[in-house]
Structures are given as C-alpha cells and as structure tokens.
Amino acid sequence: MTTSFHLPIAPAAQTERAQPRAVRLSLTDRCDLACLYCRPNRHDGYLERRLDLDAWATMAAGLVRAGVRRVRLTGGEPLLHRDVVQVIERLAALPLEDLALTTNATRLAKLARPLRDAGLRRITVSLDTLDAERFARLTRGGHLDTVLEGIDAACAAGFDEVKLNAVVLRGENDEELPDLLRYSWDRGIVPRFLEVMLIGEGATMRDRVVPAAEMRERLAEWLVDETPVRETDRGPARYVRARHDARLKVGFISGTSDTYCKGCDRLRVSSDGTLRPCLATNDGLSAEDAARAGDAILIDTLVHEAWKMKPDGETFRGCTEESAATVSIRAIGG
C-alpha cells in the first residue's frame, strides 16, 4: 500500500504547474563525511530501508514516463551505494537529456572511469577547501589527498563537464575563493561557490553566510564585470566569465540571499523511495511500494500527485522558510 505524510492541500495554481523536468535521486542517505553545515555529527542515524537496483530502475522508468529528462544522482554519498555503476548503466539506457552525479570524491579515484564508461555525462565534486587541516575539521575527519586524487581521476576520465561546488563559510574558508578558482580553472573545472543554505544544520549558521554578491566582489579582478546569468536547464547557478579567457567561467548559487523557487522544475527522490517536491520541507509521497513492485505506471501517477505538493514559488522562499530548519540535507539529497 502506498503511504504519504505531511500531505497539504495544494493551491489551485499549483495543480496547473508544469510537470517536473529534473530530478535528484538520493541513492543512499549514508555518507563517509560529516560536514559541519550538513550533519550534526557522524551518528545522526540512517534509514533502515533503501531502494535496491531493480527498484531504482523502476523508479527511473516511472520518472521518465512522468516527463523527467534530467537526472542527477546524490546522497548522502552516492558512491557508497554498491550498485552505483549499474544504476548509471540503467539510467543511461533511458531517453534522458542529461545524466549527472554529485560526490564528495572520497571513492572517485577508483570509480571515475567505470562511471564514465557506464554512461555518466557530468560530475560535480564538493570541495570547500584546499587546506588539509581545515578539510579535516570541516568534514570531521576527512582526508583531502583522497579527494584531490578523485578529482584528478575525474578530469582524466573524459566527462563532458566537471564542476566543483564549494560552500563558503565566513571566517572559515572565505579567504580561499581565489585559490579554489585558480585550482579549478587550471584543471578545466567549472568552480561554483555556494552560500550556506539555512537547512538543517545550516540553519544554525546564519552569521556564516557570505552573500553571492560579496563573493563576486572578492573575485572582481578575475571576472568580467557583467550580470551573472543562468544556463538553460542547468539549475539555479548564475555564471560569470573569466576576464582573461571567455571560455572559463565561475558559478554562484545564492540559495539564501536570493532564493530561486520561482520556476523550479526539480523533484527529489530520497533513498527510501519518497518523492519530495522541495528541498526546504519534509513533505513527500512514498513510491517505495510501487518501485519494489516494478510498477512504473503507478510511479508516473504518484509523481504528478507529489508535484501538486510543491510550494508556490511566488511566495515560498526556500531555505529561508522556518520549515527548512527541520530538514536533513544529507537524507534528502541536497
């Protein structure tokens, strides 16, 4: 039996919203790091049940039936899922316009080539610092060298695009913006700097937020003086070109100072098969039973029901809403 929770009555305008086009699949809620803005500690608990390979294949088929054309795998840490390469293979066989993955890169050195060979097109690595001591502190015990090896492997694997996501914390790594920029550009990577999102643990870090506008000012000598622009079907990041080479760019994601809920076409699926229409709420609709039963047609129906639950982007302001503080960004696949 399909179950749901926190199911509000959707405003009439929401039922007319266009179908979801992009989805983030949280393959697992497990993670081998515990970043300060993401988790309270390394013992914050995990889900007891997660979808297996066949259930994920059914979920993906149902999502495509529902109109989804862009898929990104997330976690937790997706490379901890034992079948991540096989999941990519199944997804790559579907009529998708884009297939991407976000990772902390702790296991990327060995998996970059198999992922690319399986059909993964783009990859994003989360890396907030190039200082080993600071990295260990921010991640509660992570090893920077392992991540840098993973990034090198990704660059060598021939992905269509490699990006680097850095969450910027005032008084912590905000002075590293130029170093992260040069590190990325030297390797053909697209760097993106993110404001701390006030979700879960991030909600306690309001005083650590560095607005995207301030980030651009700090990098002004490297960037063209122009209005940042979004790329079509590439999420909320706004990009600015490099002053010395127009082929290079840097992205800024302003989820706190300037939210981007209006026009959002993104759905999330947590590792237990829950369809989540918004990162900043715990609302969702379970499609676990349909996925395990191999019922892609039912998942198609459930996706449209879940989509009706999506907050009104005209008035809802994402992670600045009170509901965001109760969300586990690790579990939902931020």
In this prediction, residues 282-297 reach a mean pLDDT of 95
238-247: Cβ within 8 A, 24+ apart: 238/212, 240/216, 242/185, 245/185
pTM of the model: 0.90
Q: Average the pLDDT over 226-250 and give the result.
A: 93
Quick one: what percent of the chain has pLDDT higher than 70?
Answer: 87
Read off the tokens for 276: 């989540």
Residue corresponding to tokens 């990098």: 219
DSSP designation for 292: H
- With 70 as the cut, is the pLDDT of residue 325 above it? no
pLDDT digits (tens, 9 = 90+) for 20-67: 999 999 999 999 999 999 888 888 888 889 999 999 999 999 999 999
In degrees, to the nearest 5, what angle opens at C-alpha 174 toward C-alphas 316 and 77? 65
Query: Residues 7-22: pLDDT tens digits?
Result: 232 333 333 456 799 9
- CA torsion through residues 179, 183, 188, 190, sign: negative
Q: What pLDDT digit, counting tens, does each position of 83-94 carry?
A: 999 999 999 999
**Across-strand partners of 99?**
71
Q: Does residue 328 surpass a pLDDT of 80?
A: no
Specify burial of residue 45 (Cβ count, 10 A radius: 0-12, 13-18, 19+): exposed
Least-confidence region, from 124-138, 149-163, 258-272, 314-328: 314-328
DSSP class of residue 323 equals G
Q: What are the tens digits of pLDDT across the range 106-158?
A: 999 999 999 999 999 999 999 999 999 999 999 999 999 999 999 999 999 99
